[in-house]
Amino acid sequence: AQKITQTQPGMFVQEKEAVTLDCTYDTSDPSYGLFWYKQPSSGEMIFLIYQGSYDQQNATEGRYSLNFQKARKSANLVISASQLGDSAMYFCAMRENTGNQFYFGTGTSLTVIP
């Protein structure tokens, strides 16, 4: 089974609007971390936001927030007030306490329309 599933290959959003990128995960480890990365066309993976499995509140970092629904095993990224520079690939990732590697989804390509 896929550890991380991102079902939206591509998304479009109007500049200044909010957008939600979906991510579901699969793990039996009670302790894990969820991460979102941005990958512009230049190729570098840029860390955006982190949510721990025991965190009671949803994580926020500036215009990024993570909608964490533990029972549904979802960790959706919300980008508010989209900017043209937000156009990029976005990857959801997970690391389990019992493991070493980060598992990545297949990504969502976000295009911000002026």
Partner 1 sequence: DTGVSQDPRHKITKRGQNVTFRCDPISEHNRLYWYRQTLGQGPEFLTYFQNEAQLEKSRLLSDRFSAERPKGSFSTLEIQRTEQGDSAMYLCASSRDRPFNTEAFFGQGTRLTVV
Q: Write out the residues near partner 1 by the rule CB under 8 A.
A: 4, 6, 31-33, 35, 37, 42-47, 50, 52, 91, 95, 97, 100-107
How many Å apart are CA 13 and CA 60, to the nearest integer? 20
Shorter beta-carbon distance to partner 1: residue 41 or 114: 41
- In angstroms, give the least distance from the CB of 74 to partner 1: 17
Ordered DSSP codes for 42-56: T---EEEEEEETT-S
State the minimum distance, in angstroms, from the CB of residue 88 to partner 1. 14
* Beta carbon nearer to partner 1, 15 or 47: 47
User: How far, CA to CA in Å, does 27 sit from each of 1, 9, 22, 87?
Assistant: 10, 23, 17, 30
In the complex with partner 1, the residue whose CB is nearer, 2 or 14, is 2
Shortest CB 75 distance to partner 1, Å: 13
